[in-house]
Amino acid sequence: MIDPLEPIIEKHVFFQGLEKRHIQFIAGCAKNVVFAEGAVVFHEGDPADLFYFVREGLVAIELLVPHRGFTTLQTVGAGDVLGWSWLLPPYRWRFGARTTQPTRALAFDAKCLRAKCEDDHDLGYELYKRFSRVIAERLEATRLQLLDLYGVGA
Amino acid sequence: MASGLDSRAGAAPPAPVVPVAVPIERVRKDTHDTFTLDLVPPAGFSFVPGQFNMLYLFGAGEVPISISGDPAETSTIQHTIRAVGTVTSALTRLKKGDTIGMRGPFGSPWPLAEAAGKDCLIVGGAIGLAPLRPVIYRILAEREKYRRVVILYGSRTHEDILYARELEHWRGKFDLDIQLTIDYGGPLWRGNVGVVTTLIARAPIDPANTIALVCGPEVMMRFTWMELQSSGIPPERVYLSMERNMKCAVGFCGHCQFGPTFVCKDGPVFRLDRIAAIFGKPEI
Amino acid sequence: MDNTSPQPNQRDLLEVADFDQLFRALTSRGYEIFGPVARDGAIVYDRVASASDLPSGWTDEQNGGQYRLKRREDAALFGYAVGPHSWKKFLFPPVRRLWEAKREGNSFRIFADSPAPAKRAFLGVRSCELHAIAVQDKVFLGGAYIEPGYKTHRENLFVVAVNCSVAGGTCFCVSMNTGPQATFGYDLALTEVVSGGRHHFVMHAGTPLGAEVLREVRHRGATDGETREADEIVARTAQHMGRQMDTSGIKELLYRNYEHPRWQDVAARCLTCANCTMVCPTCFCATVEDVTDLSGEHAERWLKWDSCFTKDFSYIHGGSIRATTKSRYRQWMTHKLATWIDQFGSSGCVGCGRCITWCPVAIDITEEVRAIRDTEAAGPRASKAEQV
């Protein structure tokens, strides 16, 4: 029986090119989740046991700065991947995430996927290739934010 | 005719080097460092989206400022100015009834004819929205000529968003898609945080039939182009508005040269494939 | 261009003793005459009233970063190449007021200046200089707008060209197809012949006006032999060019080599002193300066020569686009030899050699082109630190 999430995962750009057996495994680790507006997806410091693929809505990646309160660093929306701390020890979220709109997402069991990647290096390589790209894009976007291009004298 | 002087020379009009003194009808503060001046133009003045005027402050100097208003509305001409230097900072002290010198319009326009029948993707960064606003007005005035219209606008913080009321009004239209983002999130902002380039992949356009109009700081335009390229939009359908030092605005003083082009007359709007060889090259 | 004269190939001979008649013919028609004078160790252009003002018996010795006047053994009036001045100082003055403005209550009024039309004669214009004037004509008169000041100065101009009998040490007009023979743009052209006790000028009228003026000066038809002698002098000049530049595919060459390491080499020597742009007869960059008096009631705008070598030439809010010396030298040379062609349909360089002569560190544009051409195939070296 085909997991109802399989076609969703297969279709998406992020997972394209993966072998059928890998898609099936990933689908098996995934479930649909729904967040109301303002819901905490994860707290900074929590174990990174899940990562997300946003289908609809908006999630703010935030940090609590003592005298400033929660500061949003970046937002991710439909089609974006949320979270890579699950890939690297100590597997804990370095930032928090909170929705700013009602949000639907796919949540993936990170523990399960980590174990499988150790076993099946092919899957591991494919996932790491894709996540490297996400991290690189985020880093590039962050660097542009850092430049303060819209500041005076930019 | 003088020796060697081509008898056809001199058929063109003399360069408009002398400003016209015009009154300020209205001054509007847009943000903490940006304001819009409405000037009463001389009779018969008209412009097309993308063009700029040289504004002269008595005794202080002259600066090139994009015309930011509706081309259909010529009783006053709007200019949105950010205080970044001596002259622009001095311009912030002007009030209704004061007089300012104006000459123009100069420069090349946004490609409205080429955009007909296509999806229009408009990407603005900070004050870059000002030269884009006139083309947005024209597109909305003849909405049926264009397919999907998407505006992506990035600002520094939510207090720096230009034309906020107008953007809200446009957002209310069903046939327009507007996405705003800011670089630095604040407690009152529930929207996108991140550079404007991150909105491009999600834009609801058909890259095979899209024209992109981009204006903002040069680095922002470079990275925007990279995203547009990844989305499959070719350089022949991407237009940028460039900026360089300007003194005469009519192609004589040489200051605004950008490779073989003069930004004041070959630009400021350029089709990207025509400047692809030099765009982004350091110190050209 | 209307260059007809009653007999297009007619060559006439004017004896040096009668040369002052040319001055009188022009003065009587209301022309103010500008020509070469020896002053301050150089041959510069200034008002001249008679043949005795001309640099009789002087020549120049030029090389990279070197200029010296030297006495000739004869009394030739035009026996030199070119000095630091070019005719652009008269057609496109270094400093010019554009307009003035006066406060009137809360408003102000602007009064445009227009240069008074004047009849001027340029005496001693080399072929390279005729080309340079034509190049600036295209810049200031050939586009969507005309520069009104330049147009006024350009009208009512009487040009007496000189076919060079001396090749300058830094000249390369032959490479640029701009000389030494004057072929257009003059009312009268002369070739000076000083030989075996004779001293005369073989003349050619380039326009009906030139022919008219010549008629008021004592002259006779030149013989075939005399014409041949004059032509041979010019041909000899062409054989002795001080420099040479291979211009084949030069636009594409420079467009391909924006990142060539040679730019860094020349930047290590260049002082960005802007001498080259000041002496260059085609450089046209200018700036405008807005000034006001102490009362604040009166303001003026002035147009002044500028140079792309200055650091803030390309300044926009916060910094300069071309901050390094390397980028500025590259801008100048690429503009002169390459982008100028795309902008105006011809090279901006006329091969006069002034930039080579007047560069304090002897940077030689012909050498720079050669270096890039010759080492292009070698590929870029590892980049060095930028010189700011």
pLDDT tens for residues B27-54? 999 999 999 999 999 999 999 999 999 9
Contact A58 B181 (CB under 8 A): no
Please tell me whether residues B94 and B121 are part of one structural domain. no
With respect to residue B279, please indicate whether it lies within any of the assigned structural domains.
Answer: no
Residues 6+ apart with CB under 8 A from B144: none
Please tell me whether residues B90 and B116 are part of one structural domain. no
Question: CA nearest A153 in C: which residue?
Answer: C318
With respect to residue B14, please indicate whether it lies within any of the assigned structural domains.
Answer: no
Please tell me whether residues B88 and B191 are part of one structural domain. no
Choose among B266, B189, B273, B184: nearest CA to B228: B273
With respect to residue B249, please indicate whether it lies within any of the assigned structural domains.
Answer: no
Instruction: For residue C126, list its beta bridge partners.
Output: none
Q: Quote the percentage of chain B above a pLDDT of 70.
A: 96
Of C109, C145, C314, the CB nearest to B15: C145
Please tell me whether residues B149 and B121 are part of one structural domain. yes
Q: Are A47 and A91 spatial neighbours (Cβ–Cβ below 8 Å)?
A: yes
Structure tokens at B231: 């989305």
Question: CA nearest B89 in C: which residue?
Answer: C317
Instruction: Tell whether B75 is within 8 A of chain C (Cβ).
Output: no
Exposure b/e, B128-152, CB count within 10 A at least 16 = b: bbbbbbbbbbbbeeeeeebbbbbbb
Please tell me whether residues B28 and B137 are part of one structural domain. no
Of C142, C313, C317, the CB nearest to B85: C317
Please tell me whether residues B79 and B179 are part of one structural domain. no
Provide the pLDDT for residue B186.
Answer: 84
C260: pLDDT strictly greater than 70: yes
Please tell me whether residues B217 and B128 are part of one structural domain. yes
Contact B4 C255 (CB under 8 A): no
What domains appear along chain A, each with residue ranges and CATH number?
A: 6-147 (2.60.120.10)
Structure confidence at residue C3 as a pLDDT band (50, 70, 90): very low
Nearest 10 degrees: Cα torsion C205, C206, C207, C209: -40
Provide the pLDDT for residue A12.
Answer: 83
With respect to residue B174, please indicate whether it lies within any of the assigned structural domains.
Answer: yes
With respect to residue B251, please indicate whether it lies within any of the assigned structural domains.
Answer: no
Question: CA nearest C337 in B: which residue?
Answer: B260
Exposure b/e, B171-196, CB count within 10 A at least 16 = b: eeeeebbbbbbbbbbeeebbbbbbbb
Scanning A123-152 for CB atoms below 8 A from C yields: 152
- Alpha-helix runs per DSSP H in C88-142: 88-91, 127-141
| Chain A closest-CA separation from residue C318 CA (Å) | 5
Mean pLDDT (whole number) for B171-193: 91
Instruction: Give me the domain span that covers residue B55.
Output: 20-106
Instruction: Tell whether A69 is within 8 A of chain B (Cβ).
Output: yes
Please tell me whether residues B84 and B122 are part of one structural domain. no
Q: How many domains does chain B have?
A: 2
Exposure b/e, C302-335, CB count within 10 A at least 16 = b: bbebbbbbbeebbbbeeebbbbbbbbbbbbbbbb
Q: Which of B64, B90, B106 marks a domain boundary?
A: B106
Between residues B132 and C294, the one the model is more confident about: B132
Angle at C190 between CA C186 and CA C196, to 5 degrees: 175
With respect to residue B160, please indicate whether it lies within any of the assigned structural domains.
Answer: yes
Please tell me whether residues B125 and B227 are part of one structural domain. yes
With respect to residue B122, please indicate whether it lies within any of the assigned structural domains.
Answer: yes
SS3 A87: helix
Q: Which of B89, B106, B123 marks a domain boundary?
A: B106
Contact B197 A145 (CB under 8 A): no
Please tell me whether residues B32 and B63 are part of one structural domain. yes
DSSP structure string for C130-162: HHHHHHHHHHHHSSSSB-HHHHHHHTTEEEEEE
- Residue where the block lists tokens 């670089």: B183
Q: Which of B83, B106, B129 marks a domain boundary?
A: B106
In chain B the first and final C-alpha atoms are separated, in Å, by 40
Choose among C179, C191, C194: nearest CA to C239: C179
SS3 B27: strand
C382: pLDDT strictly greater than 50: no
Instruction: Tell whether A153 is within 8 A of chain B (Cβ).
Output: yes
Contact A149 B220 (CB under 8 A): yes
Q: Quote the percentage of chain B above a pLDDT of 90.
A: 90
State how far the Cα of C74 lies from the Cα of C61, in Å rounded to an integer: 16
Chain C positions touching A152 (Cβ under 8 A) are 317-318
Structure confidence at residue C377 as a pLDDT band (50, 70, 90): low
C184: pLDDT strictly greater than 50: yes
Provide the pLDDT for residue B5.
Answer: 54
Q: Record the pTM.
A: 0.92
| Chain B closest-CA separation from residue C198 CA (Å) | 30
B268: pLDDT strictly greater than 70: yes
Please tell me whether residues B120 and B232 are part of one structural domain. yes
Structure confidence at residue C383 as a pLDDT band (50, 70, 90): very low
- Residue where the block lists tokens 């058929």: B11
DSSP state of C376: G
Chain segment B76-109, per-residue pLDDT in tens = 999 999 999 889 999 999 999 999 999 999 999 9
Chain C positions touching A149 (Cβ under 8 A) are none
Exposure b/e, C39-52, CB count within 10 A at least 16 = b: eeebbebeebeebe
Mean pLDDT (whole number) for B107-126: 98
State how far the Cα of C173 lies from the Cα of C177, in Å rounded to an integer: 6
DSSP structure string for B173-209: STT-EEEEEESS--TT--SEES-GGGGTTT----GGG
**Is the peptide bond preceding residue C360 cis, with omega within 30 degrees of 0?**
no
Mean pLDDT (whole number) for C314-340: 95
DSSP state of B142: T
B4: pLDDT strictly greater than 80: no
Query: Which of the residues A72, A73, A81, A152 would you substitute to probe the B interface, choosing the one with the greatest number of B C-beta atoms within 10 Å?
Result: A72
Choose among A118, A103, A119, A112: nearest CA to A36: A103
| Chain A closest-CA separation from residue C259 CA (Å) | 25
Residues in chain C, total: 388
Of B181, B185, B189, the CB nearest to A73: B185
Question: CA nearest A55 in B: which residue?
Answer: B202
Q: What is the mean pLDDT of chain C?
A: 94
3-state helix, strand, coil in chain A (%, to 5): 40, 30, 30
With respect to residue B82, please indicate whether it lies within any of the assigned structural domains.
Answer: yes
Q: What is the CATH number of the domain that holds B232?
A: 3.40.50.80
In chain C the first and final C-alpha atoms are separated, in Å, by 47
C326: pLDDT strictly greater than 70: yes
Contact A141 B195 (CB under 8 A): yes
- Alpha-helix runs per DSSP H in A15-96: 20-28
Continuous segment of H or E residues that includes residue C192: strand C188-195
Q: Are B9 and C93 spatial neighbours (Cβ–Cβ below 8 Å)?
A: no
Instruction: Tell whether B283 is within 8 A of chain C (Cβ).
Output: yes
Please tell me whether residues B116 and B235 are part of one structural domain. yes
Scanning B135-174 for CB atoms below 8 A from C yields: none
